[in-house]
Amino acid sequence: MTIRANDSKGLWLYFLIAYAFSWAFWIPDALAAHGVVMPAGLAGFLASPLNPAAFGPLFSALLLTLLQQGWKGVLQLLKRGIDFRFKKAWLLVILLLPFVLFGGSVWASSLAGVRPIDLSVVSNPPYALIAFFVILFTAGPLQEEFGWRGYALPRLQSRFDALTSSIILGFFWWLWHLPAVFIPGRFMTDDLAVFLALSVVITLTAILFTWIYNNTNGSVLAAILAHASMNWSIWLAMPNMKMDLPTSGFMIAFLGAAVLVIVKNWGAAQLSRERD
């Protein structure tokens, strides 16, 4: 069953706060990386893994939920991060489909001669398995999904159909990363042309994640696991996590084909066969 918000109150404020929090830490980090002088301790903190910029979506979702619904609402939102109340067959989709689409597209680009094949990670299974959980807890899924899918998506879907909501969310999700492009090693590219190509990749991913979310009773856990599987799959096939234009093109092709199948078979209105 698709979860719908009663209204979209606070939606645009959500994006504003998420951006303000993240960019307040990423922009100074980018400036320091490009030679702007600031106190050594601050520069070191911003460049370290302790930089909290990625928590912007989570911070915004928790803050607005607290203001609008109180602690009970916050607890309900957090509980959706451990919500297994969906058909367990979807767990295979959640974990394997991103692996096929994202990992497969990187491997396809390697086989096509776009980039050398790197087996350094997959040749060490215990390391690769542990990395999944490191990625789950530290590399985006927990920091982002309570916000993008937990807070913003239901409110978008209270106003727009599922496909339109996904495209809007995909744009904001993509643009949120912009300052990180200017910080060496912080994002998948420092090339603005590649970043523009990633706007299509991330928007298609947003559609895929909405489809998963709407078919798992609005489980934030499902979105968290799908996000972790996506990042992990890309890392397995591309350990340096550096995207280029040809590889972006393969991702667009793989994801585009999957989205066409999803929209055709599940419908643009809800991206789900369930009906309210």
What is the secondary structure of 211-250 as a DSSP string? HHHHTTTS-HHHHHHHHHHHHHHHHHH-TT----HHHHHH
Least confidently predicted of 36-50, 88-102, 143-157, 239-253? 36-50
pLDDT band at 123 (very low <50, low <70, confident <90, very high): confident
- pLDDT digit string, tens, across residues 241-250: 899 999 999 9
Token pair belonging to 51: 């930089």
Query: Average pLDDT of 56-77?
Result: 96
pLDDT recorded at residue 267: 95
- Residue 275, pLDDT > 60, answer no
User: Which among 143, 128, 134 has a CA at the least distance from the CA of 233?
Assistant: 128
Cβ 153 vs Cβ 213: under 8 Å: yes
- Write down the residue that tokens 């302790």 correspond to: 50
pLDDT recorded at residue 164: 97
pLDDT band at 258 (very low <50, low <70, confident <90, very high): very high
Contacts for 128 with CB less than 8 Å, ≥ 6 apart: 121, 122, 236
Task: Indicate the DSSP class of residue 99.
Answer: I
How far CA 78 is from CA of 62, 81, 150, 181, in Å, comes to: 9, 5, 9, 30
What percentage of the chain reaches a pLDDT higher than 70? 96
What percentage of the chain reaches a pLDDT higher than 90? 78
Contacts for 60 with CB less than 8 Å, ≥ 6 apart: 14, 15, 17, 18, 21, 147, 151
